[in-house]
């Protein structure tokens, strides 16, 4: 067979697919290629040696089998090599062509996964309800493993040996979970991120479950790749590791290099028989959930619903095409930041049981020494993770629900790489705003508002009275919040809130438990590097920024509640919000307070306008008289005596307490203005909305009322000075 020459225009077709590369005209030829067999492989190899320059690297197309039944018989497919002329070439942008081809590849990958199993309780019942002996045998295995471990703990407790044997028992539990298989490995992984449930020795030992799992034979993995992609291994990769570089609970990962482009990739292959094993375990665990719901009163949540939610997510992890789509969506939403890396997906080599993604060089986030040897700081990476997680949880609502150390890598250039997108979750839009308001209400000890937040968070049905919950919140959080925000420990808050939730008819949504897990994991990683790290202190700037700038009505009302109390404006709260919000790198002074200004002009802003008028009068008076007092204090003593008629008293007839309050108000206003000016995004046009207020009919009325109030207040003060009225006693 003739080897195809380089720098020649070819159209090579397998079945109905084709790849076109045009470099120079060539006469039309017909080449017959069997779609399968050794001759086809030889052609592929010869074509590779010919070094054709493709418009975009593409995979070797799947072999088309002849006939609907897929009998595998070879058919002769004509391949036309057609002459390319300038007039026949239609200019198409490279980016558009890449997007179109990528979409086509994704559609083909979805077609390969069309028969992926979707979890339903009925599915488990139909599969295992009629197999009592198989179910009984597995139940005995689980009981033997966990029962013997529980018995040893009981003996340790009787002998007062719990503390002494804790490390040894942690190793035993890891071994038990490993022997019981993938379902219990997933459970162990979840426990490894729950310091509220497990002592440190168990957390450390169970964390090794993340990637130190037994492997399955490489021959089975390679056979699975060829079967799933319908391609021989040597036509896909120029090289692939002889053994897996990591083994996860649901599959194992190989490092390979793609033949068509030379790019290094990670190839994840699903464990054989994993779906059968997991389904049987969930069938048994679900039965236990029914028992707990019926007989264990201390647990108020619907355990079966939680198990179903967890099982549904695990089954989603079994569909690698869905994981690839998750990764693409995650990359689109969050990889716009320079410190976040999300690997790309190669759809041509992805199916229900095989996932091929970009290879990422990096160090696991809990390997502090290795990270520091690269000149990086763990806390910087954790802060990047926290900021990205807050955007996931509260901005777009689509978040990574399994951020254990094996899924977070520090790259040599200082980026935080996210891996493994099998388990994702979403926060409802209403809940996102409610969470922000809830944190702000908590920090400001507004327990009535905190209790009402549970309606929006879907913790309580609307017919539940929250008034009995308020004292319980106050009892716990008054002690916890005696510390500053920078001293609050997220684990302490989670534990305390959990204690409150258990006492009342709460139904914690699955997304909320995953949020707590994500933030607890990040705080746990940071504590390895800095025992004093507090995730809430690192997160609060984001909450403050959102509260100041988000136009959402829920957050706007929460901001107004925070700033106004008993008819007075709390300048210290605004100052604190601006101090915290300015620490967020995306904070914009121009956007601060915009939602409040818009409400001020709106038809529903009458109450707010009355409050603003009163506060504007107070501020103007404070600035005016504060400036006068500063000017008086700066003049020479002879001039002071002249102004005070020689009696040495201040010419301003006001009590010392009132004067101090006025000076403090002026100082706060000036500090707030300095905070706004110090923002990197400061622009004098920040005042433009205020100027726009004066051009609106409603605003002109507001301006007139403010001006009238200021005039009356200053006139009263001036009259007081003229009449030399004695100062009012301090209250």
Same domain, 558 and 627: no
Boundary (domain end) residue, out of 27, 61, 91: 91
Query: Per-residue pLDDT averaged across 188-210, rounded?
Result: 71
**Whether 553 and 606 share a structural domain:** no
Tell me which of 562 and 141 has the higher pLDDT.
141
Dihedral (CA of 657, 662, 665, 667) sign: negative
- The dihedral through the CA atoms of 568, 570, 574, 577 has a sign that is negative
- The verdict on residue 5 lying in a domain is no
pLDDT score, position 589:
66
Q: Is 345 found in the same domain as 204?
A: no
- Tell me what the mean pLDDT of segment 454-473 comes to: 84
677 falls within a domain:
yes
CB-based contacts of 531: which residues, under 8 Å, 6+ apart? none
Res 654: pLDDT: 63
Q: Are residues 436 and 486 in the same domain?
A: yes
Rounded to an integer, what is the distance from CA 289 to the centroid of its chain?
29
CA–CA gap between residue 123 and residue 518 (Å, rounded): 30
More confident residue, 429 or 212: 429
183 in any annotated domain? yes
pLDDT given at position 304: 87
Among 40, 63, 91, the domain boundary falls at 91
The separation between CA 275 and the C-alpha centre of its own chain, rounded to angstroms, equals 28
- The per-residue pLDDT for 331 is 92
Query: Among candidates 441, 666, 413, which has minimal Cα distance to 555?
Result: 441
Number of H helices, E strands in the chain: 27, 17
Residues 182 and 239 grouped into a single domain: no
Q: Look at residue 506 and tell me if it is in a domain.
A: yes
User: What pLDDT is recorded for position 599?
Assistant: 62
Residue at 648 is within a domain: yes
Cα 443-447-449 angle, rounded to 5 deg: 95
List of E strands, 198-283 = 237-240, 246-247, 251-258, 264-270
For residues 25 and 10, what is the distance between their CA atoms, to the nearest angstrom? 9
- pLDDT higher than threshold 80 for residue 533: no
Of 318-327, 390-399, 409-418, the least confident: 390-399
Q: How many residues does the chain have?
A: 731
Other CB atoms within 10 Å distance of the CB of residue 367: 16
- Note down the domain range covering 294: 101-130+214-356
Q: What does the block give as tokens for 60?
A: 């070797």
List, for residues 81-106, the tens digit of each pLDDT value. Answer: 344 444 444 455 556 667 888 888 88
Q: Is 283 exposed, middle or buried (0-12, 13-18, 19+ CB in 10 A)?
A: buried
Share of the chain above pLDDT 90, in %: 21
**Do 243 and 180 belong together in one domain?**
no
Q: Report which listed range, 166-170, 259-263, 264-268, 423-427, is most confident.
A: 264-268
Residue 684, pLDDT > 60, answer: no
CA-wise closest residue to 548 among 564, 531, 560, 565: 560
Calpha distance 679→549 (Å, rounded): 14
Task: Note the pLDDT of residue 96.
Answer: 65
Average pLDDT over residues 646-658: 60
In a domain, 370, yes or no: no
Give 82's DSSP letter: -
> Do 197 and 160 reside in the same domain of the chain?
yes
Using the predicted structure, report yes or no on whether residue 546 has a pLDDT greater than 90.
no
Do 352 and 113 meet the contact criterion of CB atoms below 8 Å apart?
yes
The number of domains in the chain is 5
Contacts of 633 (CB under 8 A, 6+ apart): none
Contact by Cβ (8 Å): 418, 342? yes
As a whole number of angstroms, the distance between CA 221 and CA 229 comes to 12
The highest-confidence range among 249-263, 296-310, 594-608, 715-729, by mean pLDDT, is 249-263
Residue 550 located in a structural domain:
yes
Average pLDDT of the residues of the chain: 74
> Which residue has 């198989």 as its token pair?
134
More confident call, 401 vs 492? 401
Tell me what pLDDT residue 236 has: 93
d(CA 351, CA 135): 30
Tokens in use for 83?
């002459």
269: in domain = yes
Question: Which positions are annotated as active-site residues?
Answer: 402
For residue 305, give Cα distances in angstroms to 194, 285, 311, 312, 455: 20, 12, 10, 10, 20
Q: Could you tell me the pLDDT band of residue 699, with boundaries at 50, 70 and 90?
A: low
Question: Are 109 and 252 part of one and the same domain?
Answer: yes
Res. 685: pLDDT tops 80: no
Instruction: Among 356, 372, 388, identify where a domain stops.
Output: 356
For the four alpha carbons of 653, 657, 663 and 665, in that order, the dihedral sign comes to negative
Answer yes or no: do 632 and 483 share one domain.
Answer: no
Whether residues 112 and 86 share a domain: the answer is: no
> Are 189 and 51 members of one domain?
no
- Asked whether residue 44 carries a pLDDT value surpassing 50, the answer given is no
Over 70: is that where the pLDDT of 34 sits?
no
| Alpha carbon separation from 439 to 67, 453, 456, 466 (Å, rounded) | 62, 10, 13, 18
Q: How confident is the model at residue 433 (pLDDT cuts 50, 70, 90)?
A: confident
Residues 226 and 352 in one domain: yes
pLDDT band at 122 (very low <50, low <70, confident <90, very high): very high
């Amino acid at each position: 067979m003739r080897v195809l020459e380089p720098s020649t225009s070819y159209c090579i077709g397998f079945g109905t697919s084709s790849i076109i590369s045009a470099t120079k005209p060539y006469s039309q030829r017909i080449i017959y290629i069997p779609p399968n067999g050794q001759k086809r492989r030889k052609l592929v190899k010869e074509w590779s040696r010919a070094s054709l320059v493709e418009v975009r690297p593409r995979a070797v197309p799947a072999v088309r089998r002849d006939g609907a039944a897929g009998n595998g018989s070879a058919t002769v497919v004509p391949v036309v090599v057609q002459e390319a002329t300038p007039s026949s070439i239609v200019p198409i942008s490279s980016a558009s062509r890449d997007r179109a081809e990528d979409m086509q590849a994704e559609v083909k990958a979805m077609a390969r996964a069309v028969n992926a199993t979707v979890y339903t309780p009925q599915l488990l019942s139909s599969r295992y309800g009629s197999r009592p002996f198989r179910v009984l045998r597995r139940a005995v295995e689980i009981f033997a493993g966990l029962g013997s471990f529980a018995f040893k703990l009981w003996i340790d407790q009787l002998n007062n040996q719990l503390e002494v044997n804790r490390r040894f028992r942690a190793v035993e539990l890891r071994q038990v979970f490993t022997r019981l298989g993938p379902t219990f490995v997933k459970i162990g992984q979840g426990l490894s991120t729950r310091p509220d449930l497990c002592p440190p020795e168990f957390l450390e030992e169970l964390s090794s479950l993340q990637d130190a799992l037994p492997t399955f034979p490489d021959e089975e993995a390679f056979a699975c790749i060829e079967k799933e992609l319908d391609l021989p291994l040597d036509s896909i990769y120029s090289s692939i590791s002889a053994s897996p570089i990591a083994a996860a609970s649901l599959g194992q990962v190989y490092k390979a290099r793609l033949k068509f482009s030379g790019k290094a990739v990670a190839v994840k292959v699903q464990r054989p028989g994993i779906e059968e094993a997991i389904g049987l375990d969930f069938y048994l665990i679900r039965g236990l959930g029914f028992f707990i719901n019926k007989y264990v009163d201390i647990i108020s949540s619907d355990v079966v619903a939680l198990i179903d939610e967890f099982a549904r997510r695990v089954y989603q992890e079994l569909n690698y095409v869905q994981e690839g789509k998750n990764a693409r969506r995650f990359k689109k939403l969050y990889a716009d930041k320079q410190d976040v890396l999300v690997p790309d997906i190669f759809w041509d080599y992805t199916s229900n049981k095989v996932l091929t993604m970009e290879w990422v060089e990096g160090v696991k986030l809990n390997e502090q020494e290795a990270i520091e040897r690269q000149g990086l700081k763990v806390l910087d990476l954790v802060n990047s993770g926290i900021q990205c997680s807050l955007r996931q949880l509260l901005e777009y609502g689509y978040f990574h629900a399994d951020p254990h150390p094996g899924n977070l890598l520090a790259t040599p250039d200082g980026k935080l790489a996210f891996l493994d997108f099998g388990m994702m979750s979403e926060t409802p839009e209403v809940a996102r705003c409610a969470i922000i308001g809830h944190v702000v209400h908590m920090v400001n000890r507004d327990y009535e508002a905190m209790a009402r937040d549970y309606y929006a968070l879907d913790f309580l049905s609307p017919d539940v009275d929250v008034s009995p919950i308020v004292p319980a919140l106050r009892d716990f959080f008054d002690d916890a919040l005696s510390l500053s925000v920078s001293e609050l420990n997220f684990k302490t808050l989670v534990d305390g809130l959990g204690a409150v939730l258990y006492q009342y008819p709460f139904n914690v949504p699955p997304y909320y438990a995953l949020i707590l897990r994500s933030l607890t994991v990040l705080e746990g990683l940071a504590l390895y590097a800095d025992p004093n790290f507090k995730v809430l202190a690192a997160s609060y700037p984001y909450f403050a920024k959102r509260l100041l700038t988000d136009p959402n009505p829920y957050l706007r009302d929460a901001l107004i509640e925070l700033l106004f109390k008993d008819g007075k404006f709390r300048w210290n709260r605004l100052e604190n919000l601006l101090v915290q919000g300015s620490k967020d790198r995306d904070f914009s002074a121009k956007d601060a307070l915009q939602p409040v200004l818009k409400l001020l002009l709106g038809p529903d802003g009458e109450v707010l306008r009355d409050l603003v008028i009163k506060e504007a009068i107070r501020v103007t008076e404070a600035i005016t008289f504060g400036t006068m007092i500063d000017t008086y204090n700066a003049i020479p003593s002879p001039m002071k005596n002249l102004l005070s008629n020689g009696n040495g008293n201040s010419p301003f007839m006001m009590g010392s307490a009132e004067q101090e309050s006025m000076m403090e108000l002026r100082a706060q206003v000036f500090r707030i203005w300095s905070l706004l000016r110090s923002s990197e995004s400061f622009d004098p046009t920040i005042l433009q909305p205020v100027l726009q207020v004066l051009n609106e009919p409603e605003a002109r009325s507001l301006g007139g009322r403010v001006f009238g109030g200021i005039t009356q207040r200053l006139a009263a003060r001036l009259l007081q000075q003229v009449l030399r009225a004695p100062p009012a006693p301090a209250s």
